[in-house]
Chain A
Amino acid sequence: MSLVLLLVWASLSLAAPSEPPEAIVVMPAVLEWVDADFPSAAADEDITSFKVTLRVSLDEQGRVTDAQPLEDDPYGFAWEAKDAVLRMRFSPAETREGPVPSTFDFGYSFELTEDPEQEIEVPITLEGRVRENGTRAPVGGAFLEIEPSDGREIERTELVTEGDGTFSVRGLPPGEYRIRVSGPGHRPATETLTIEPDEVTEIRLWVTEDNLSANEITVFGERPKTPEVTRRTLSNEEIRRIPGTFGDPVKVIQTLPGAARSPFGTGLLIIRGANPQDSGVYVDGIEVPLIYHLTGTTSVIQPEFVESVDYLPGGYSGKFGRKMAGVIDVTTKDRFDETIISGGADVLDAQVYAQTSIPVGGDEDRKIGVAAGFRRSYIDAFLPLFLDGSDFAIKPRYWDYQFKVVAPTPEHRTLSAFVYGFEDLLSISTPSDTAQGSDRDTQGDLLTRYLSHRAVIRWTEKLGDDLTLRVTPSFGVDRTIFGVGQALTFSGGTTNVHFRSELEYRPHPAITITPGFDFLGGAWSFDFVSPFRIADLDNPLSERDPVAFGGQGTAWYPDAWLRMDLSPLQDRDRLRLTPSVRVNSATITYGGSVAQGAAPYRRQAIDPRFSGWFELTDGFALKGSSGLYHQPPQPQQSIGLGVTPDLAFERAWNSSIGLEHTISPAVQWELDLFWRDMWNLIDTDPNFTGFGSSPFMNIGFGRAYGAELIVRHQPVGRFFGWLSYTLSRSERKANPDAEWVPFDFDQTHILSAQGGYDLPYHIGVSMQIQLVSGNPQSVLNAGVFDVDGGSYSGFRVGPRNDSRLPFFFQTSFRVDRRFTFRSWELSLYVDLLNTIRGVNPEFTVYNYDYSDFAYVRGLPFIPNIGFEAKVRR
């Protein structure tokens, strides 16, 4: 007697990992099968088939570390299956960080055949391959059932496809058959076929992925061992389906704890009560000036290029610097094995994307991966339709492009080049005979333009088992233009080089030492042209003396950092300590009429930082961080007028402590308490005297503290979602003796809940609810009429930000439907943004003399309808 393997499948139910899970992008697969003995006691009882489900644990190499039958049986199937599985070999589960340990349920089926020797001699009569509709990916482990369709009494044949989706059947008598194919994560499909005498029938079978797609997490691995104690990452499928985010991974950041709501959804990053400019945005570790287009709806990188988005609201190591608050780091993909062409459009923009891999010299094992994308908005074409009758024409417009090449490299090396850029243009134009005010010098179109390009190379070299070098040089050009009419124009830009490198050295399993270098430098310049002197702005009778000045120079920020990752306990993953230090440096040289020989600006600062993570019990961990964060002056602040500004770096001491708990494989919660002390904040000098002095000085203080909670249901089964809540307070004061006043974007309560559910027929529904405290505001009580200028100046009685706008509330829905065909997919979606909402004041406007006010309300109901088509070859 022997065995024929009939069924292998990995179920969707999961065992509890010991730490919060991370999205798996590659599922484990059987590499080496081991047959189990059929228990003789079962054979004696005339049992011919049996199935055992085991909970299998793999390590990072795919080795089976444990296999526990979930149910016992009186014949010994469970223990035979366990013995076999423990000797099998799997490919490991992989997250975007690489192979990780994993735990999953595994089905092992037994069937007793009478004479296997005879079976082998029977010729093959049917062979074929099972592929997935849309992706054309082979489906390994699919279960096939073959039975006659013409009523003949032939025993049903059952078998499982190989890892490459192939299968073969021996000895099928000629005739009509019905073949049913099913498998994990796929909907069953049935085909009919005819077996001819003395022929091998070939068939291709297609199955359709169930709603629980591979992109959605079907197996959990362990959390990557990162030094950041608060690091939040979402899966691609979760991101794409949150209404209101336009499927943009970066946009989703604003639904996570610690991120305040930005006005009109413009994407201002207000993280843990800090100014937008206090947080940094990076693509592959390289800083970019804008992460969102000016409409605030989408980020400047197409989602197809995004591998992951790391959101670090605080407590990060010395690897990142020059910022006091949070960090967003977008990591782009480095694998383009498949050939994909996709395109999509909605009411905002249209985009195309293509990727492929090209063999080098015909060698299929050495391929160059190439991907390119382009997106262009056309909202500027639609907006005039809604502004009919207005004298003004508002025309926002943007485009972006990306191009990436991944070189074929040996295993110990990766090398890629990424070129991307974008332009944002916002113009407000008027007919020539329509006044925008009383001043001819400011008549004409209002224009804002951002232009940015980056070229980035990423090179990773594994120099040994314990030594890895990562180098990321980049070259970039940024330009900004702001103009009013023909007369008032500001244009500026930088040509910059950003160079990052780090050497990761692991001398002992418990110690990893990583020194790094983070260099940012380049040339800056700006020109300013105005029909009047700045000093005359408050006097409408002043004669116009055109002013033109400019400046140029260089700015250098050669920073170095050192980080240690320590795992001092025997159980390496139980305690992780990460001390780090960063040395910040800034040197700025000046030239041009605005500087007139000012000496270079030079400052240095050192940031010691520390974070720790300790697993108290299984699935329950304590974490904390504390550290100093320095931030050089903003570009406009670091230019004195004929003098070198006497500005120190702005400083923040960030601390946090938190708990994280994995309740089940699908449900986790995290609680963080944070405190941020800020001082040396730069503000305008009230005693500024014009040329020969600096308009800015270090006079401000700030503090922000609060609690952040996230409860998350991973996309296990048909539901995913998370609820985040932030309770916080952020305050500022102008000098040590002043009273604390609320920060402009202080939002006491920030509640955001979003979730999605998969319905049958590939229909997904999702919903988002936001409830947020209104921003503080300084109410103006009355106005005084400046007769010469023809306008009122509003004034107020009371401290700054002494009142608050009403609560913000909105609900959005999304419905999507995916159609899967042989070689392509079509997704249709309707995003119903702001379906149910409150009044949602964004800011206050006053009547002409400040005796009355009204609220400018948030975005209206927007039905965003779109599609995306994806072809795979």
Chain B
Amino acid sequence: MILRFVSSALLLTSCVIQSERYPRPRDLDPSWLADRPRLLAIQVEPPDLLPGETAEVRALFVDPDDELGTVIWFGCSDEETTSFGCAPDPSVLGGDPTPEDLDAAGVIGIEPGLPPRVTAPEDYLDSLDERSALRGRPYTVTALALPREGLEDDESLDFNQLRVGFKRAMITTRETNQNPGIVRFLVDSHPIEAGQTVLVDPGEIYELDVELAEDAIETYDYLNADGEWEEREEQPFAEWYASGGQVRRATTIHPFLYSRWLAPAASDIEGRWWVVLKDRRGGISWVEVPWRTR
């Protein structure tokens, strides 16, 4: 009896002091949620470059409330690359730099106005032996998106106001790779035409998938560490994003590229899906699809 009483009393006292004072991990925004300014992908076309060759660069930014302003692009060699991409010269952000200043700072583009382009230095592979040159040497492009407002007072600059991302372009002596082709977006196996808004039922779960182009998964020759050529096949993976609802699998790997998405419970909610496909060799493509709940 006493034991029962004491146990019950203690069980009742189980509590956490100040339990709501700090957020829990489950309260943090998930990586698939793209409901504020974000950089989701950078594409270099073509993803492999020969020395001296020039490639176009573009980025997939999400900016639902038009908060992003200028995007400054930098290029740097792998030796100048840190864990955070190219290390830009902060002075570029202020004053009125000349084109020479920008070039010296590694600026390869400023948007809007100067679309980013990367040109592989002619001598970029000169220091490598033949085998290493065949494998390639990465060259980094970094995008720095400034907020449209809030940079007037340097003292109050919050780094989280900036959107920074980087990507490697592969400089090789034999250009082989292409960005993976996506034919169409699929919702519950139904193809979605470009620009079409998908009507979804609130609270329902949908299977999202992509149909790949026939040549999206490339086979290629690779000179392995033993000096032997071997044929390899790309192993692409997809990153899924949504501006609302709930993505059940944020990253999927071929051949299970499909993901699942739970629609918001409310009606007349508009949003977007994005899927970014990466071939793991530097090739990147993406599709953006709008949706609306009935």
Interface positions, chain B 22-38, Cβ under 8 Å from A, are 22-25, 27-31, 38
| Chain B residue, CB-CB nearest to A543 | B222
Q: Among the listed A790, A815, A852, which residue makes an inter-chain contact with B6, where contact means beta carbons less than 8 Å apart?
A: A815
Task: Report whether B252 and A435 are in contact in the complex, using a CB–CB cutoff of 8 Å.
Answer: yes
A782–B162 CA distance with the chains assembled, in angstroms? 9
A3–B176 CA distance with the chains assembled, in angstroms? 113
A834–B162 CA distance with the chains assembled, in angstroms? 42
B100-108, B183-191, B201-209, B280-288: which lies at the interface: B280-288
Contact with B along A793-815 (1 / 0, CB 8 A): 10101000000001001000101
Task: Report whether A809 and B84 are in contact in the complex, using a CB–CB cutoff of 8 Å.
Answer: no
Task: Report whether A809 and B2 are in contact in the complex, using a CB–CB cutoff of 8 Å.
Answer: no
Given contact pairs A543-B135, A838-B18, A847-B28, A790 touches B239 in the complex (Cβ within 8 A)? yes
Q: Please give, as numbers and ranges, the residues of chain B lying within 8 Å of A855 by CB-CB distance.
A: 22-25
Judge if A763 is at the interface, Cβ distance under 8 Å: yes
Judge if B243 is at the interface, Cβ distance under 8 Å: no
Judge if B117 is at the interface, Cβ distance under 8 Å: no
Task: Report whether A438 and B251 are in contact in the complex, using a CB–CB cutoff of 8 Å.
Answer: yes
Task: Report whether A785 and B14 are in contact in the complex, using a CB–CB cutoff of 8 Å.
Answer: no
Task: Report whether A854 and B224 are in contact in the complex, using a CB–CB cutoff of 8 Å.
Answer: no
Interface positions, chain B 124-179, Cβ under 8 Å from A, are 135, 138, 159-160, 162-168, 170
Judge if A192 is at the interface, Cβ distance under 8 Å: no
Task: Report whether A788 and B84 are in contact in the complex, using a CB–CB cutoff of 8 Å.
Answer: no
Judge if A330 is at the interface, Cβ distance under 8 Å: no
Given contact pairs A543-B222, A763-B2, A848-B30, A839 touches B19 in the complex (Cβ within 8 A)? yes
Task: Report whether A813 and B251 are in contact in the complex, using a CB–CB cutoff of 8 Å.
Answer: no
A439–B222 CA distance with the chains assembled, in angstroms? 19
Task: Report whether A793 and B83 are in contact in the complex, using a CB–CB cutoff of 8 Å.
Answer: yes
Q: Among the listed A761, A765, A784, A835, which residue makes an inter-chain contact with B13, where contact means beta carbons less than 8 Å apart?
A: A835
A438–B252 CA distance with the chains assembled, in angstroms? 7
A107-115, A533-541, A640-648: which lies at the interface: A533-541
A786–B224 CA distance with the chains assembled, in angstroms? 25
Q: Among the listed B83, B162, B170, which residue makes an inter-chain contact with A538, where contact means beta carbons less than 8 Å apart?
A: B83
A784–B280 CA distance with the chains assembled, in angstroms? 19
Q: Among the listed B10, B22, B253, which residue makes an inter-chain contact with A435, where contact means beta carbons less than 8 Å apart?
A: B253
Task: Report whether B138 and A784 are in contact in the complex, using a CB–CB cutoff of 8 Å.
Answer: no
Given contact pairs A438-B251, A541-B281, A839-B16, A785 touches B166 in the complex (Cβ within 8 A)? yes
Q: Please give, as numbers and ranges, the residues of chain B lying within 8 Å of A828 by CB-CB distance.
A: 3
Given contact pairs A438-B251, A785-B164, A854 touches B28 in the complex (Cβ within 8 A)? yes
Judge if B235 is at the interface, Cβ distance under 8 Å: yes
A763–B5 CA distance with the chains assembled, in angstroms? 13
Chain A nearest CB, measured from B48 CB (Å): 10
Q: Please give, as numbers and ranges, the residues of chain B lying within 8 Å of A570 by CB-CB distance.
A: none
A837–B21 CA distance with the chains assembled, in angstroms? 13
Judge if B249 is at the interface, Cβ distance under 8 Å: yes
Judge if A444 is at the interface, Cβ distance under 8 Å: no
A399–B235 CA distance with the chains assembled, in angstroms? 40
**A-B residue pair count with CB separations less than 8 angstroms:** 153
Q: Please give, as numbers and ranges, the residues of chain B lying within 8 Å of A856 by CB-CB distance.
A: 25
Q: Among the listed B15, B42, B160, which residue makes an inter-chain contact with A787, where contact means beta carbons less than 8 Å apart?
A: B42
Task: Report whether A848 and B17 are in contact in the complex, using a CB–CB cutoff of 8 Å.
Answer: no
A784–B83 CA distance with the chains assembled, in angstroms? 9
Task: Report whether A841 and B256 are in contact in the complex, using a CB–CB cutoff of 8 Å.
Answer: no
Given contact pairs A545-B225, A852-B28, A782 touches B7 in the complex (Cβ within 8 A)? no
A782–B39 CA distance with the chains assembled, in angstroms? 14
Q: Please give, as numbers and ranges, the residues of chain A lying within 8 Å of B232 by CB-CB distance.
A: 543
Q: Among the listed B14, B24, B162, which residue makes an inter-chain contact with A832, where contact means beta carbons less than 8 Å apart?
A: B14
Task: Report whether A836 and B14 are in contact in the complex, using a CB–CB cutoff of 8 Å.
Answer: yes
Task: Report whether A838 and B282 are in contact in the complex, using a CB–CB cutoff of 8 Å.
Answer: no
| Chain B residue, CB-CB nearest to A848 | B31
Chain A nearest CB, measured from B281 CB (Å): 6
Q: Please give, as numbers and ranges, the residues of chain A lying within 8 Å of B30 by CB-CB distance.
A: 847-848
A855–B28 CA distance with the chains assembled, in angstroms? 10
Q: Among the listed B13, B21, B31, B159, which residue makes an inter-chain contact with A839, where contact means beta carbons less than 8 Å apart?
A: B21
Task: Report whether A809 and B83 are in contact in the complex, using a CB–CB cutoff of 8 Å.
Answer: no
Contact with A along B38-52 (1 / 0, CB 8 A): 110110000000000
Judge if A857 is at the interface, Cβ distance under 8 Å: yes
Judge if A614 is at the interface, Cβ distance under 8 Å: no
Q: Please give, as numbers and ranges, the residues of chain A lying within 8 Å of B21 by CB-CB distance.
A: 839
Task: Report whether A836 and B85 are in contact in the complex, using a CB–CB cutoff of 8 Å.
Answer: no
| Extra inter-chain contacts (19) besides given A540-B280, A784-B85, CB under 8 Å | A435-B252, A435-B253, A541-B168, A545-B224, A761-B2, A782-B160, A790-B237, A790-B276, A793-B83, A809-B17, A815-B7, A832-B11, A832-B14, A838-B18, A839-B17, A847-B28, A847-B31, A849-B160, A856-B25
Interface set of B (CB-CB < 8 Å, partner A):
2-3, 6-7, 10-11, 13-19, 21-25, 27-31, 38-39, 41-42, 83-85, 135, 138, 159-160, 162-168, 170, 222, 224-225, 232, 235, 237, 239, 249, 251-253, 256, 276, 278, 280-282, 284
Interface set of A (CB-CB < 8 Å, partner B):
433-435, 437-440, 443, 533, 538-541, 543, 545, 759, 761, 763, 765, 781-782, 784-788, 790, 793, 795, 797, 806, 809, 813, 815, 817, 828, 830, 832, 834-839, 841, 845-857, 861, 863
A-B pairs, 10 with minimum CB distance: A785-B165, A848-B31, A782-B159, A847-B28, A784-B84, A787-B167, A854-B23, A545-B225, A438-B237, A861-B14
